[in-house]
Amino acid sequence: MGWTWTWFHRLGSPPYIYGLAARLTPWFAWPAGALIVGGLYGGLVLAPPDYQQGDGFRIIYVHAPSAWMSLMVYTTMAVSAGIGLIWRMKVAHAVAASCAPVGASFTFAALVTGALWGQPMWGTYWEWDPRLTSELILLFLYLGYMGLRSAIEDVQRADRMSAVLAVVGVVNVPIIHYSVTWWNSLHQAPSVMRLAKPTMPPSMLIPLLLMLLGFTLFFFAVLLVRLRGEVLSRERSATWIREAVSP
């Protein structure tokens, strides 16, 4: 208990976080790049065409990772926002604020790549289907969160108000995930994230797993860079800033 508590306190310390984030970034960024390049090659070249969808199924290698990012980033944002609210931890609020633009952009990618996949396979770009609609609501939650933050001048107030929105909005995450099981949806059921064995052969599955892991590491690399910016802009008087910004 003793050392975990000390560690928790150090994580709350801006200079420690600023330095740690800088040191950790390359350890996420380079493996992310390698995994994404490998995943793209596997997905576009090595994987065989699908027996029903032909080469059209290859959209999965960008659509599924984007959709995964939209949910994983939101969950990270809501948990950090919650920690920020409960323990009044500035760094946790900085993490939450760092998540939003990343999550919003990949939610947009998930929606557009989904539309581009839907047109040839379902015959429509858009349908007011439970999965599609709940994912669109997720985009609005991200945009609402960012809009609320930018509308409030005082950073601490913006942190608290936007954190409440992030925490309340997290109910949408399980709704999106289970939408294809609970309701009769156009969208296919999960083929990777399921308790039983995945339904894909390894030649199709491995590139997808590389992309999912690559995007996840990419998120943490981007998060660490953004976090340094957010931490720096929350410090008004600390003398360590002088060290941080000295060229």
Partner 1 sequence: MSEFLDMGGYAGYVWPSYGLTLAIVVLNIVWARRLLARSREEARRRLAMRGGAT
Helix (H, G, I), strand (E, B) or coil at 229: helix
* Backbone torsion region of residue 88, taken as left when φ is above 0, otherwise alpha when ψ lies between -120 and 50, otherwise beta: left
- Nearest approach in angstroms of CB 21 to partner 1 is 10
Question: Closest CB to partner 1 among 176 and 224?
Answer: 224
* Chain residues 84-103 in contact with partner 1, contact rule CB under 8 A: 101-102
Give 50's strand partners: 54
Query: 4 Cβ partners below 8 Å, 6+ apart?
Result: none
| Site map 178..197 versus partner 1, x via CB under 8 A | --------------------
Does residue 64 interact with partner 1 by CB under 8 A? Answer: no
Q: By CB under 8 A, name the one of 26, 48, 54, 201 that touches partner 1.
A: 54
- Nearest approach in angstroms of CB 221 to partner 1 is 8
Does residue 45 interact with partner 1 by CB under 8 A? Answer: yes
Instruction: Check: CB of residue 212 under 8 Å from CB of residue 160.
Output: no
- Nearest approach in angstroms of CB 115 to partner 1 is 9
Buried b (16+ CB within 10 A) or exposed e, 161-190: bbbebbbebbebbebbbebbeeeebebeee
- Nearest approach in angstroms of CB 96 to partner 1 is 15
